[in-house]
Structure 1
Amino acid sequence: MIQIENNTDITEKIVTILHRLSEHLQGFTQELTEIREFMKKATGDISPPLLDKEALCRKLNIAERTLYRDIKTYNIPVHKLGSRLYFYWEEVEQSLKREKV
């Protein structure tokens, strides 16, 4: 809690409160920046766990037609939501490795 002398006028009280609030906010902003940097370093190379077919094609550097062929060839698990197809990257990797051996 911020304590201010009782004999100061209201303007000085407000200025003092705002100054102290500003100091606290600067500290908070610095902590948030440090947390963001930590998260960037911690998750830098982690791909999103769920990919749509377009993202998976980009990641594998293949055409959509090739993806459909590979789904059958490598038995890649497909998750549908409505008419859209989604893939878990870990499952795709396992399917591709399992069939290559």
Structure 2
Amino acid sequence: MYYLLLVLFVIISLMLIVVVLLQRSRGDVGTAFGGMGQGVFGPGGVDTILTKFTYWLGFSFMLVALLLALTNPSKKGSLIKDETQRSPKSSQQGIPPGKTAPSGTPSESKTR
């Protein structure tokens, strides 16, 4: 199920990129800085087929992303809980058997 959703997610992502790139811009550079372009609101606000397709692809993109997050097959649980349950590891490097640590090292002060 997860891998089917993952393939669907990639397909929807690529289709969304293509559909957005195919659309015509709604105005010129002047509209970005507060100017009124001729195509700011469009002729009566009629949506084109590409715009409606973009809405549906965006909605399905979000839905599949949510489903992917919920059906992740990796280990379930909280990352925070995992970190608190993990035993603290010492940062000391092991000294080979039969050898002692040089004097003045932090490992020597812990053994006293």
Shorter-chain TM-score range: 0.3 to 0.5
Question: Which of the pair has the greater relative contact order for Cα pairs under 8 Å at 6+ separation?
Answer: 2
Q: TM-score scaled by structure 2?
A: 0.31
The structure that has the greater radius of gyration is: 2
